[in-house]
Amino acid sequence: MLKYLLLALSVFSAVATGEVIHEERSLYRNIIVDETRDLRCLKFNTKSSQTSQSCMYKNDPDKLVFNYTKLTFASLLVTQNPKNVLVIGLGGGTLSNVIHELYPAAKIHNVEIDPAVLKVARDYFNFIETDNVTSSVQDGRIFIKRAAIKKQKYDWIILDAFNGDYIPEHLLTKEFFEEVQSVLADGGVIAANTFSSSKLYEHESATYHSVFGDFINVSRPNRSNRIILAGIKTMPTQAQLNERISALGPRLKKYDVDIKAISTYMQSTKNNQDWPANTKILTDQYSPANLLNF
């Protein structure tokens, strides 16, 4: 009986998630590439759930699928013409591709812990690699620690490392953010992809605030993603913002990024802290990140 029930369920879920076109067993998890009509997605397969890490429209690969990917481009309103971009957590390589198209002269380095993810990005998501766009298979924290020793600087640092559950614990601590800060160039910005629905929300905010001071939350009301823009030295004036919005608007349109709308989702934490003052900060010593998140 149970067998039939499971069979029925698996048939049902196969219909719901589309057709699996590739499976990759990595050291960390199973990676699935599946397709539902035009939409191709990279998923991490855990027993309890499948979480989409990256998606693209096959017939319109420029168009961004995820809300959070679009929100990430709010970074370009607070920093201009990035020259050295660091992306921690590759996924399908979508962010890297778009940034490369926007700024062909910019150096982009992608850091991904899982060699299988890199392989899938190359084989199924048209991940572009050139002299300017490079990638390394490494833990993000180690990469940044080594970069700090070599005194490298980046003017746009995107933190987008996720395992099946959430952001790995050691990439969500005060010490880590201090290391990130040390490789941030003057006038640069850090964009971190986080979940607004997580129980860690307040801890995350307090931890970011403890290292970077006031930061900008970019999130749409009632949506589950928020992008944190941190490390900004001087906030742009409203006039500058308007100027940048009208300059970027047409360039970002083909990616389905409405930068004008996104600019209205930006809110500084200055005079607007939405976490209790006594919230415990996450550190290397205290980071029950993945536990709190359930």
- State the residues that interact with another protein by CB under 8 A: 27-28, 113, 138-142, 145-146, 149, 168-170, 173, 175-176, 283-288, 291-292
256 is catalytic: no
Give whichever of 28 and 103 is closer to another protein, judged by the CB atom: 28
Residue 39 contacts residue 18 (beta carbons within 8 Å): yes
Give whichever of 241 and 281 is closer to another protein, judged by the CB atom: 281
At its nearest, how many Å lie between another protein and the CB of residue 244?
A: 36
- Coil, strand or helix: which one is 64? coil
At its nearest, how many Å lie between another protein and the CB of residue 66?
A: 24
Question: What residue has token string 């640069």?
Answer: 188
Which alpha helices (DSSP H) does the chain contain, by range? 2-17, 67-72, 75-78, 94-102, 115-124, 140-149, 174-182, 201-212, 238-253, 259-263, 289-292
Give whichever of 64 and 113 is closer to another protein, judged by the CB atom: 113
Active-site hit among 160, 186, 256, 274: 160
The two structure tokens encoding residue 146: 């080594």
Phi-psi domain of 175 (left: phi exceeds 0; alpha: psi -120 through 50; beta: other): alpha
Using CB atoms within 10 Å of the CB of residue 279, give its burial: 0 to 12 exposed, 13 to 18 middle, 19+ buried. Answer: middle
Give whichever of 17 and 138 is closer to another protein, judged by the CB atom: 138
Catalytic residues: 160
